[in-house]
Amino acid sequence: MIDYKTLKHSDNGMPTWDGFLGPILKVAETDKIWKRQDLINNVLEEVNLPDNLAKMTYSSKWHDLVANNRINWALSDLKISGLLNTPKRGVYQISDLGRAILKEYGLNITRELVHSQPAYLDHQKKLKEQNNDSDTNEISEEQTFELTEKQVSNWFDKQKSDLTEKLLLKLRSIDPYEFEHMMIKLLSEMGYKGTDGQSLVTQKSNDGGIDGIINKDPLGMETIYVQVKRYAEGNVVGSPEIDGFSGALRRQRADRGVFITTSSFTSGAKAAAKQLNIALVDGDMLTNLMVQYKVGVQVRQTYELYDIDDEFFEE
């Protein structure tokens, strides 16, 4: 049995689509051939999601289960990369490559690893060539196909997931002081600065454990203190860092703070933060907020979906 909390997950606790990569291969190696739904069901049983996550659905008219959808995305990439074979439609079998990678990496199989496989790279190359051809040549009737609104929505969900992963890698590579400025900008964009308030990043040489200060009003009567840690994925923030930040807050006679990291927090850190009135933002939550408030990202293209306005015709 796999503890779902140990898998890469979103801020709501649900494993991300690539968090299911390892569990899928672990389940797949226990039998020779799997039907798609049987494999999905066994993966869900293996990770033992609590009811609130197992029954979580998208807020759309289809009410698709989030976990099932993410496993399907992972299955697709495992198939494309050659880690899973498909003897026939809807049937999966772990490949020799899949067994070798599972043996070497266990559950720590990342999207970068899967996407670096020769079969996946070749697939992407062919897609690019097809797209280039479609730009210059008229598409024949046999080449056309229809995408449902549901498929488009699912595709955008996956693109957003891929974007947040790239964004997190970018954040971990920038200058720490630049990162501090970016985090203060994010909190300001989220509205914490207030209408006439101000925000600032403290001096590097004498910040006293405080990286940023946000005044929500012009007189500074309501102030939020910020600490940020640009950490690698495995460098988890523990309770000592939270206790240290709490001490810095007490020296400022402050009763609230925000601790932001590009990694994650231990259970001890979360418990300490809850007692000390410190809000925590981990890497997954951070990148989702940056996308939501368009900090460090930009809209590349906008598509609008139209429907008939029945009320207009009834007037």
Supply the Cα-derived Rg of the chain in whole angstroms.
23
Residue 69, H or E segment: helix 66-80
Domain span including residue 14:
4-134
CATH number at 247 reads: 3.40.1350.10
Residue 300 lies in a domain: no
- Tell me, yes or no, whether 16 and 114 share the same domain: yes
Phi-psi region of 194 (alpha: psi -120 to 50; beta: other; left: phi over 0): left
CA nearest neighbour of 251 among 190, 206, 192, 308:
206
Kindly tell me if the per-residue pLDDT of 155 is higher than 90.
no
Looking only at the bridges linking them, the beta strands covering 91-94 and 34-35 are antiparallel
Q: CB of 16 within 8 A of CB of 164? A: no
Residue 112 lies in a domain: yes
Tokens of 140: 């024949």
Residue 31 lies in a domain: yes
- Tell me, yes or no, whether 71 and 182 share the same domain: no
Q: Which long-range contacts (CB under 8 A, 24 or more apart) does 121-127 make?
A: 123/80
- Tell me, yes or no, whether 186 and 283 share the same domain: yes
Give the start-end residues of each E strand in 238-314: 257-261, 278-281
Residue 156 lies in a domain: no
Residue 166 lies in a domain: no
Per residue in 28-52, pLDDT (tens digit) is 998 778 998 899 999 999 999 998 8
Which of 134, 165, 191 terminates a domain? The answer is 134
Tokens of 150: 């549901």
User: Helices 176-189 and 283-292, interaxial angle, to 10°?
Assistant: 60
Confidence of residue 99 (pLDDT cuts 50, 70, 90): very high
pLDDT of residue 160: 78
pLDDT of residue 144: 43
pLDDT of residue 211: 87
Range 173-201 average pLDDT: 82
- Tell me, yes or no, whether 8 and 79 share the same domain: yes
Range 113-121 average pLDDT: 93
CATH number at 80 reads: 1.10.10.10
